């Protein structure tokens, strides 16, 4: 099977999954939270085991405590996935707000350049999105936020792969290698 056809099929598959995820964003959000919980449990267990190999008493204690915290957080996500989903949505909201504020501050340092307005607008949009998430957290948006973001990312990824497939088909396999 040719490279461009593989990219095309992966792109189509990603678009289909994106549509499915957007059709059930709460289910996708809970699945993301469950997977996060599993990974935190595994990571916490590995951190605890690895903590016993750390040199120095304080380093060992810190590593083991961090492993316990990670494992407890993972267990919390697995035992109550809806609350975990809300927690992760709030983390995303905080990250949007922090990124927006940082870009707004950065934009004023770029005043007088062509990057001022795009950076300012980007920061304001991120901040507005954080405010929107915060104001609609009780309206169920927080429960579906992770699924919506994942579905949108799957769509963007799929369309990007489809466009890349047509580029590779038109320009041949040599277009993939930088010169």
What is the 3 state secondary structure string of the chain? CCHHHHHHHHHHHHHHHHHHHHHCHHHHHHHHHHHHHHHHHHHHHHHHHHHCCCCCHHHHHHHHHHHHHHHHHHHHHHHCHHHHHHHHHHHHHHHHHHHHHHHHHHHHHCCCCCCHHHHHHHHHHHHHHHHHHHHCHHHCHHHHHHHHHHHHHHHHHHHHHHHHHHHHHHHCHHHHCCC
What are the tens digits of pLDDT across the range 11-24?
999 999 999 999 99
Q: What is the CA radius of gyration of the chain?
A: 21
User: In this predicted structure, what is the pLDDT of residue 107?
Assistant: 94
Total residues found in the chain within this entry? 179
**Average pLDDT in the 87-113 region?**
93
What are the tens digits of pLDDT across the range 77-97?
999 999 999 899 999 999 999
What are the tens digits of pLDDT across the range 113-149?
999 999 999 999 999 999 988 888 776 788 899 999 9
- Which of 21, 27, 55 shows the shortest CA–CA distance to 151? 21
User: In this predicted structure, what is the pLDDT of residue 139?
Assistant: 67
User: In this predicted structure, what is the pLDDT of residue 141?
Assistant: 83
Per-residue confidence band for 34, with pLDDT thresholds at 50, 70 and 90: very high
User: In this predicted structure, what is the pLDDT of residue 173?
Assistant: 62
User: In this predicted structure, what is the pLDDT of residue 178?
Assistant: 54
pLDDT at 108 over 60: yes
């Amino acid at each position: 099977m040719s490279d461009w056809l593989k990219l095309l099929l992966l792109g189509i598959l990603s678009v289909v999954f994106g549509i499915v995820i957007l059709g059930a964003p709460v289910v996708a959000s809970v699945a993301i939270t469950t997977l996060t919980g599993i990974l935190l449990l595994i990571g916490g267990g590995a951190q605890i085991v690895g903590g016993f190999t750390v040199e120095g008493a304080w380093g060992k204690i810190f590593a083991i405590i961090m492993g316990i915290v990670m494992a407890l957080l993972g267990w919390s996500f697995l035992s109550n996935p809806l609350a975990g989903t809300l927690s992760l949505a709030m983390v995303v909201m905080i990250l949007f707000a922090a990124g927006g504020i940082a870009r707004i501050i950065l934009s004023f340092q770029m005043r007088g350049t062509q990057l001022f307005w795009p950076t300012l607008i980007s920061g304001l949009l991120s901040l507005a999105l954080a405010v929107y998430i915060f104001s609609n957290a009780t309206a169920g948006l927080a429960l579906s936020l992770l699924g919506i973001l994942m579905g949108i990312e799957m769509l963007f990824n799929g369309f990007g792969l489809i466009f890349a497939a047509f580029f590779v088909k038109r320009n041949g396999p040599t277009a993939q290698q930088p010169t």
